[in-house]
Structure 1
Amino acid sequence: MSDITLWKPEPDILIHQALGKAGEEAGELATILFRCLIQGLDASEPVTGEPNRRSLFDEIADVLAATQWLRDLIGDEFDQARFDRKLAGFRRWQAMLEEDAGLGHCDICAKPIHADDICSTDIELGICHAACLEGSPTVDLETGEPTAGKIDTYRYGDIASPVGRTEGGAHV
């Protein structure tokens, strides 16, 4: 019995390099993810001053490019159904975490809705960021008929006590 597992590296040089590059980029993404956790997403790298948020999105782009190159080389067997299931699971998890934190989320942009956010109510989606609903048609809540009027907006933190909100239109 051997103390090590015997193996040989990937023999195709292009695939070998693409695998290595994808791994390298994934490692760089992991590094900035941990930096964002430790220092904060909106902080900056202490030595260079580069914003963590910008570094995060640079590394996400690098990982996406490296994995696309790898997919192009080895034949794309991307499982869209798995991706969709995983993303739906992450969004369910997000909703659970937001609920535990007392936050809602916008069904249009999927971002949390915070107390100071300006919101509006969509007749089908519920509470959303008002900016996400910009340009959508509005209806009279009493009749369901389209209106040319503006919809009501409100500060999300005020919905527990809707005093001062006017009756009016909602997005459809």
Structure 2
Amino acid sequence: MSTADITLWKPEPAVLIHQALGKAGEEASELAAILFRCTIQGLDSSDPGTGKWNRKALFDEIADVLAATQWLREVINDELDQSRIARKLAGFRLWQRMLEEDARQAKADEDAYQCPICTVAITVAITDDDNCATDIEMGTCHAACLEGSPVVDLETGEPIEGKAGTFRYGDDTAPEGSANV
């Protein structure tokens, strides 16, 4: 084995700094553990072994990490970059707004009427300005999705010549007398 196979190092020699670093690391790992438990089990669930609520455990560990990092900062003569904290927090808040907007859009998409033909491959909501036609089995569809389909008389079910009647979805009125099959 050559020395290139391992990294040679020695532990922090100052006992107080060594202990403060170790304690901050220990508390950070405990916080990581409860963060993962909250992610897996849910923030408002409880630990099946102890019965302690995940939310309470999370805030206990956040408090422990804040205390341990404050002590570490005092021991090593704080050189914390406050502007970095501000930039990071601004980034997290921007990310939060983006995620909230995505959630609002996903909810709006769930509530929108979907073309039953388009949704086989992708989710395509029908909007008020879309040109639509009515399929005898599927209901309202994008007119373009029904191109090439046979047209029948809705009264008799008999095939007829020509194109299916179309309508603007926002008008909420399908034409009478013909539909695609």
TM-score range, shorter chain: 0.5 to 0.7
For 2:95, the equivalent position in structure 1 comes to: 93
Tell me how many residue pairs correspond in the alignment: 103
For 2:16, the equivalent position in structure 1 comes to: 14
- One-letter amino acid of the counterpart of residue 22, structure 2: G
Give the secondary structure class of the aligned counterpart of 1:41: coil
For 2:29, the equivalent position in structure 1 comes to: 27
- One-letter amino acid of the counterpart of residue 43, structure 1: S
Matched, 1:77 2:79: yes
Cα distance in 2 for partners of 1:55, 1:36 equals: 9
For 1:153, the equivalent position in structure 2 comes to: none
Matched, 1:65 2:88: no
> Which one has the largest radius of gyration?
2
Identity fraction in percent: 76
Deviation at 1:34, TM superposition (A): 0.1
For 2:44, the equivalent position in structure 1 comes to: 42
TM-score (norm 2): 0.56
Give unpaired runs (5+ residues) of structure 2: 106-181
Picking from 38, 51, 54, the partner of 1:52 is 54
Q: CA RMSD in A?
A: 1.0
For 1:167, the equivalent position in structure 2 comes to: none
Deviation at 1:73, TM superposition (A): 0.4
Deviation at 1:97, TM superposition (A): 0.2
Cα distance in 2 for partners of 1:12, 1:100 equals: 49
Higher helix fraction: Structure 1 or Structure 2? 2
Give unpaired runs (5+ residues) of structure 1: 104-172
Deviation at 1:29, TM superposition (A): 0.1
Cα distance in 2 for partners of 1:86, 1:19 equals: 23
Q: Which segments of structure 1 move beyond 4 Å, counting only runs of 4 or more?
A: none
- One-letter amino acid of the counterpart of residue 17, structure 1: Q
**Cα displacement string for residues 72-118 of structure 1 (whole angstroms, at most 9, x for unaligned residues):** 00011111100000000000000000000008xxxxxxxxxxxxxxx
**Cα displacement string for residues 39-73 of structure 1 (whole angstroms, at most 9, x for unaligned residues):** 00000000110000000000000000000000000
Q: How does 1:121-136 map to 2 (within 5 A)?
A: none
For 1:5, the equivalent position in structure 2 comes to: 7
